[in-house]
């Protein structure tokens, strides 16, 4: 069929359906298949909108939470160099830089005995998920990954080298009260299989 004739037929069909007989188009749109397609499209749009709103709210929540951890901190705590080592009492000072999607903790803990260690944690947030790095076990830079629930960021540690028989441990960075922060690391004793708190540091904003 010639292209010109095709165009004429298409124009006449458009005029009939849209301009002269809109009720014909309305009857077509009332068909069960079309109705189902419209419902599916509406659900997809609603889901996409909800996802965007949730992502925006999560970003706002993390930004507000991270900013509460910014500032200068000092406090006391305990450290075990290894799960079977004696507990050492330490005094610590930290500086925390935070923005809408990242947290950088840098400090040092010392004791009356011969112990002094630089400790740092650098995190990036994506929604309520966090990834980053940690220095503090004396074995190099470890990887961090986890999520926040309430006032605590729970992180899995992957050591650069074996510590206490493997390369796994846990860390929690927790906001305590209006002006407090607690840093906790937990590892597994290879001899007993029990979880041991290898460091717990309670800090106050200074």
Residues 13 and 115 in one domain: no
**36, 72: one domain:** no
Token pair of 163, please?
């510590």
pLDDT of amino acid 12: 55
Q: Are 167 and 178 in contact (CB under 8 A)?
A: no
Distance of CA 165 to the CA centre of its chain: 28
Q: Are residues 97 and 183 in the same domain?
A: yes
Q: Say if residue 39 is in the same domain as residue 86.
A: no
Domain shared by 130 and 195, yes or no: yes
Residue 61, pLDDT score: 76
Q: Are 122 and 83 contained in the same domain?
A: yes
Short-list 149, 150, 104, 143, CA closest to 123: 104
Residues 52 and 71 in one domain: no
Residue written as tokens 């305590």? 176
Tens digit of each residue's pLDDT, the chain (206 residues): 554 554 544 455 445 444 554 454 445 445 555 456 555 544 444 454 444 444 444 445 799 999 999 999 999 999 999 999 999 999 999 999 999 999 999 999 999 877 899 999 999 999 889 999 999 888 899 999 999 999 999 999 999 999 999 999 999 999 999 999 999 999 999 999 999 999 999 999 98
Same domain as 43, residue 79: no
Looking at the fold, whether 159 and 105 belong to one and the same domain comes out as yes
- Looking at the structure, tell me whether residues 74 and 139 fall in a common domain: yes
Q: Domain check: are 24 and 77 in the same one? A: no
46 and 143 inside one domain: no
Domain containing residue 173: 67-205
């Amino acid at each position: 069929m010639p292209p010109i004739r095709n165009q004429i037929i298409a124009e006449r069909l458009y005029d009939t359906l849209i301009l002269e007989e809109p009720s014909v188009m309305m009857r077509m749109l009332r068909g069960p298949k079309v109705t189902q397609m419209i419902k599916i499209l509406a659900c997809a749009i609603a889901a996409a909108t909800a996802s965007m709103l949730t992502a925006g709210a999560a970003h706002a929540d993390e930004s507000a939470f991270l900013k509460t951890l910014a500032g200068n901190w000092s406090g006391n705590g305990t450290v075990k160099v290894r799960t079977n080592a004696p507990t050492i009492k330490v005094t610590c000072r930290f500086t925390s830089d935070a923005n809408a999607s990242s947290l950088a903790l840098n400090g040092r803990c010392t004791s009356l005995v011969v112990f002094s260690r630089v400790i740092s944690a650098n995190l990036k947030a994506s929604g309520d998920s966090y990834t980053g790095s940690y220095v503090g076990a004396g074995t190099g830079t470890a990887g961090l990954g986890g999520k926040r629930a309430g006032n605590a960021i729970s992180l899995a540690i992957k050591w650069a080298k074996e510590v206490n028989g493997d390369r796994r441990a846990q860390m929690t960075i927790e906001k305590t009260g209006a002006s407090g922060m607690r840093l906790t690391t937990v590892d597994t004793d290879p001899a007993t299989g029990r979880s041991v708190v290898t460091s717990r540091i309670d800090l106050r904003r200074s």
